[in-house]
Amino acid sequence: MLKGATFIEKSIKDLKRKGEIPLIPYITCWDPDLETTEAILWEMAEVSPACIELGFPFSDPVADGPTIQKAVVRALEHKPTLENFFEFVKRLNDKGYPIPLVCMTYYNIFYRFGLERAVKFALDSGLSGFIIPDLPIEEANPWLKANKGKGLATIFLAAPTSSEERIRKIAQKSSGFLYYVSLTGITGARDKLPEDVLERLQLVKSLSSIPVAVGFGISKPEHVKMLSPYADALVVGSAIVKIVEEKGKKAPAKVKEFLKILKTF
């Protein structure tokens, strides 16, 4: 069975080969509770996303906008621990969960837990990788060393302000996919995306040997239609988290319905 970065890359490429749109949805674990999180994950699996970003709640989510910040506050009420998170992922994978799962959280969480310990727990749980938005490549060597040869994806972010040289370095250190942030600022659904996003995407793809996913602001079928010919995958976060905020325990079916709409635009 495929695992880690290889599992993610194959999932993206297989969907593209089939002519499908590789979506990467994001939800915050424990929002509004763990039972609902699991129900949402199984409903999303039926829409065949490329992989899923599962956010571990952190008290200072500097890259996230108001929608995800509020989700984090709701999730933190359950007093989650990283051990709980890995146990949850393991239970899912023991049940045969078919989609690669990526943990999205902040570096302080792993630093305090222990880098090598986090990698070991991740491997034992069947997690496929990590997105750590506040970890720049210049400071990533301890993390990369802890994960060396283990196969887990470390997905770094490139910004609209990143130079060509920096994008090359980010692509070299990333595994699974490179995450291109479509706009400067924080996460959140937008009506319009930047005018130069397609040009920038083409540049990033030309500098990367692994798949390039684009995120931040993607919330409408029009966005998917515009970006899908240029990106290898599309990350959708705040628009989904908003559904969870509004529907609570009734969110699972609504999230699946929303992703179906995005995939068929």
Domain harbouring 221, CATH code: 3.20.20.70
Residue type, 178: L
Return left, alpha or beta for 139; rule: phi > 0 is left, psi -120 to 50 is alpha, else beta.
Answer: alpha
CA-based nearest residue to 72, from 41, 29, 106: 29
Residue 44 has, within 13 A of its CA and on its CB side, a CA count of 28
pLDDT of residue 186 exceeding 50: no
Distance CA 189, CA 191 (A): 7
Catalytic residue chosen out of the listed positions 9, 31, 64, 232: 64
Work out the number of other CB atoms within 10 angstroms of the CB of residue 215: 24
* Percentage of the chain modeled with pLDDT above 90: 78
Which pTM does this prediction carry? Answer: 0.94
Range 118-130 average pLDDT: 98
Are 30 and 75 within 8 A, CB to CB? yes
Structural domain of 113: 4-264
Range 11-19 average pLDDT: 96
Annotated catalytic residue 64: yes
* pLDDT tens-digit series, residues 189-234: 445 565 688 888 999 999 999 999 999 878 888 889 889 989 999 9
Cα 175–chain centre separation? 13
Are 256 and 239 within 8 A, CB to CB? no
Distance CA 53, CA 187 (A): 14
Distance CA 101, CA 37 (A): 13
Give residue 265's pLDDT band: very low, low, confident or very high (50, 70, 90): low
Are 128 and 51 within 8 A, CB to CB? yes
Are 204 and 230 within 8 A, CB to CB? no
Work out the number of other CB atoms within 10 angstroms of the CB of residue 245: 18
Annotated catalytic residue 53: yes
- What is the pLDDT, as a whole number, of residue 55? 97
Catalytic residue chosen out of the listed positions 53, 139, 245, 257: 53
pLDDT of residue 184 exceeding 80: no
Are 217 and 182 within 8 A, CB to CB? yes
Range 79-106 average pLDDT: 97
**How many domains does the structure of the chain reveal?**
1
Q: Which helix (H) or strand (E) holds 199?
A: helix 197-207
Residue type, 59: S
